[in-house]
Amino acid sequence: MKKSKAETAETRRRIVEIAVREFRRNGIHATGVSEIMAAAGLTHGGFYRHFSSKDQLVAEACAASMESLVEKAEAAAEGGTEAFLNHIRDFLSAEYRDDRLGGCPLVALGSELARADEDTRRAASNGFRGLIDVTSDYFDSEEAKGDAIFTLSAMIGAVTMSRIIDDQSLSDQILEEAKKRLARLPSKVAGKRRTPTRKSLPTEQTADEPLGQ
């Protein structure tokens, strides 16, 4: 029996969703199409009814992951200054570091994405631009875009390094130092759909206090 367009679209969505999870678990190159289809309860041959190649699936999985990341950042920004601060804190938390199957694809798959094809790199780039746009609204400075780029790079780099390091104490310190230094940047949450406010990240903290304590 021929599937409806809605059923076909749902199957494709499910394959992409599972691909995101499996790529994060094992890496892009180490994850085969047959493994993804098996996890979806489908046959290997059925893959090509939805995608022309694994590269196409990788690009769509990357786009879906980045879209979800941007949506979460937007939701945090819509919640006001404290909600956005909590978004940053949560990103730089031990829980986020330890959640290898969730979170930011740039952290989980960054080195592989750098060697991916043009479509996948474009999906990652567009997602990062979206994060810059959201985060730029947070900063109260003439260099808001630069501050946003620095913040995102620091967040992604800190979590990446904290996952690599085999010393638990140093891994934790990397996250805390990133939070502490990002706390010093002047900030606001302002945008077309939000009422501009002015509130810096806490500046009264001592040098040894991490953000949020």
How much is the average pLDDT of 13-28?
A: 96
Q: In terms of Cα–Cα distance, which of 68, 76, 129, 79 is closest to 103? A: 68
Q: Where are the alpha helices (DSSP H) in the chain?
A: 5-26, 33-39, 54-78, 81-91, 94-98, 105-114, 118-136, 144-164, 168-182
pLDDT of residue 2: 60
In the predicted structure, residue 196 carries a pLDDT above the cut 50 = no
In a domain, 166, yes or no: yes
In the predicted structure, residue 201 carries a pLDDT above the cut 60 = no
pLDDT of residue 139: 84
pLDDT of residue 148: 94
Containing domain of residue 166, as a range? 54-182
- Comparing 20-24, 34-38, 107-111, 184-188, the range with the smallest average pLDDT is 184-188
Q: Quick one: CA torsion of 123, 129, 131, 134, rounded to 10 degrees?
A: -140
| Cα(72)–Cα(77) distance, integer angstroms | 9
- Which residues, other chains included, contact 41 with Cβ-Cβ below 8 Å and sequence gap of 6+? none
Q: Using only C-alpha atoms, what is the Rg of the chain?
A: 19
135-172 pLDDT tens trace? 998 887 789 999 999 999 999 999 999 999 999 999 99
46-78 pLDDT tens trace? 999 999 999 999 999 999 999 999 999 999 999
In a domain, 115, yes or no: yes
With a pLDDT cut of 70, the percent of the chain lying above it is 86
Q: Which residue has the higher pLDDT, 108 or 210?
A: 108
pLDDT of residue 126: 97
In the predicted structure, residue 17 carries a pLDDT above the cut 80 = yes
In a domain, 92, yes or no: yes
Report how many domains make up the chain. 1
| Cα(85)–Cα(90) distance, integer angstroms | 9
pLDDT of residue 170: 98
82-97 pLDDT tens trace? 888 899 999 999 999 9
127 phi and psi angles, rounded to 5 deg = -65, -40
In the predicted structure, residue 188 carries a pLDDT above the cut 80 = no
Between the CA of residue 174 and those of 22, 100, 160, what are the distances in Å? 27, 17, 10
Length of the chain: 213
- Tell me the two tokens of residue 16: 């992409």
In a domain, 39, yes or no: no
In a domain, 198, yes or no: no
| Amino acid residing at 4 | S
Give SS3 for 172.
Answer: helix
In a domain, 12, yes or no: no
In a domain, 96, yes or no: yes
pLDDT of residue 213: 36
pTM given for the model: 0.82
- Tell me the two tokens of residue 210: 């991490």
Question: What does pLDDT average to over the chain?
Answer: 87
Q: In terms of Cα–Cα distance, which of 68, 2, 4, 10 is closest to 40? A: 10
How much is the average pLDDT of 101-125?
A: 95
* CATH label of the domain that carries residue 143: 1.10.357.10
In a domain, 125, yes or no: yes
